[in-house]
Amino acid sequence: MSTDYDDWDHYDHPVPEGYTLCPRCDGNQTVACHCGGDLCVCDNQGERYCPLCGGEYGDEGYVKKEVAEKYLARQREMHAAFQKGWAEAEARTKAATE
């Protein structure tokens, strides 16, 4: 059987045209629910369907490239904000100790 994509796993499917793997869940279709892990109180047993790709009802862990780029742009904005906040906090700490 010949295919035009890497056939290391017979369940592996090529990414649909115009789509990419979900950057939120890396195509796994689930994310941590963050309510307690083993002591999960939301009956999800520590996981829930990915809110970006839809999980079970999504496109098998794929999102449109535009959606992924928008998500990644927001992640870069948040990363820059955290870097700025840490730098300001370190500057205040340094000034207070001098």
* pLDDT, tens only, 41-84: 676 667 788 888 887 555 578 899 999 999 999 999 999 999 99
Please indicate, yes or no, whether the overall pTM of this predicted structure exceeds 0.85.
no
Confidence of residue 27 (pLDDT cuts 50, 70, 90): confident
The two tokens of residue 89 are 């906090």
- Residue 62: CA atoms inside 13 Å, Cβ hemisphere, count? 13
Beta carbons within 8 Å of 67's beta carbon, 6+ residues apart:
52
